[in-house]
């Protein structure tokens, strides 16, 4: 029987690795990205390319304007993205947290999974080497899965949905090692919060620093192109 999965794909390192894991596990993958008003569109272009690389059955890009809500340096351009020393001085939940983002994204992915009759949703959230986001914790993933299996026609009819977060307990180094094993071309991925439209990374934001440290820890040359 064909196994179908919806994979949330931002175009970054983590979500691409999650897609590679889903493919290895034998899933037919349907990838979903969000144009939610983030600073850079480079990650969306990367997601399209990565979907083709992994032979996703279908890739869709959902337009969802979260700039109207604001409250994050990623969606409100009047708020600066923390860089370098500022990162060490952040509160536990930094200003790059986008309010309710993963809850919203997973909810829309849940709807598509129902339509596709997909049994799994893959998401690349990580609770170890991450920026302190509350919606990247195992408790959140478990709670969302419980909600999904209460709220959907599919679950009422006995078709349980599973939220897969294969990277949840991995360090950035471990994620990169797994991706290399699976043949991921990380030069296609964009992780920077402030990337230029052609994919050049700043090298200064939280996401860039975590990514750089991960490659250094593996003794692998970082394929990221920097400004």
d(CA 151, CA 148): 5
Please report whether residue 164 resides in a domain: yes
Please report whether residue 223 resides in a domain: no
Please report whether residue 225 resides in a domain: no
How many CA atoms does the CB half-sphere of 80 hold within 13 Å? 7
pLDDT tens string 168-200: 999 999 999 999 999 999 999 999 999 998 899
Contact indicator for 194, 41 with CB cutoff of 8 Å = no
Residues in CB range of 142: below 8 A, 6 or more apart? none
Contact indicator for 208, 202 with CB cutoff of 8 Å = yes
Identify the CA nearest to 207 among candidates 94, 122, 107: 94
- Work out how many domains the chain is built from and give that number: 1
Please report whether residue 51 resides in a domain: yes
How many residues are recorded in the chain?
227
Question: Digits of tens for pLDDT over the chain (227 positions)?
Answer: 789 999 999 999 999 999 999 999 999 999 999 999 998 889 999 999 999 999 999 999 999 999 999 999 999 989 999 887 555 444 568 899 999 999 999 999 999 999 999 999 999 999 886 667 899 999 999 999 999 999 999 999 999 999 999 999 999 999 999 999 999 999 999 999 999 988 999 999 989 999 999 999 999 999 998 98
Q: What is the pTM assigned to this prediction?
A: 0.95
Please report whether residue 22 resides in a domain: yes
Q: Kindly report the CATH number assigned to the domain that includes residue 36.
A: 3.40.50.620
User: Which pLDDT score is estimated for 89?
Assistant: 45
Please report whether residue 71 resides in a domain: yes
Please report whether residue 186 resides in a domain: yes
Q: What residues make up the domain containing 56?
A: 4-218
Identify the CA nearest to 38 among candidates 101, 109, 82: 101
Please report whether residue 226 resides in a domain: no
């Amino acid at each position: 029987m064909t196994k179908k999965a919806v994979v949330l794909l931002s175009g970054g390192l983590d979500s691409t690795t999650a897609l590679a894991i889903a493919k290895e596990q034998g899933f037919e993958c349907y990838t979903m990205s969000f144009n939610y008003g983030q600073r850079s569109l480079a990650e969306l272009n990367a997601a399209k390319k990565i979907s083709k690389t992994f032979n996703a059955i279908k890739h869709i890009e959902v337009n969802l304007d979260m700039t109207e809500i604001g409250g994050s340096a990623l969606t409100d351009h009047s708020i600066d993205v923390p860089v370098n020393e500022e990162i060490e001085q952040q509160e536990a939940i930094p200003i790059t947290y986008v309010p309710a983002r993963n809850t919203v994204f997973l909810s829309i992915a849940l709807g598509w999974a129902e339509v596709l009759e997909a049994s799994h949703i893959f998401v690349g959230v990580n609770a170890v080497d991450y920026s302190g986001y509350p919606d990247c914790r195992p408790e959140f993933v478990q709670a969302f899965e419980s909600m999904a299996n209460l709220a959907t026609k599919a679950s009422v009819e006995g078709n349980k949905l599973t939220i897969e977060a294969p990277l949840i307990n991995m360090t950035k180094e471990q994620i990169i090692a797994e991706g290399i094993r699976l043949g991921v071309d990380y030069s296609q991925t964009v992780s920077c919060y402030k990337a230029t439209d052609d994919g050049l990374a700043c090298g200064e934001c939280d996401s860039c620093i975590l990514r750089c440290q991960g490659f250094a820890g593996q003794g692998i040359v970082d394929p990221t192109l920097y400004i």
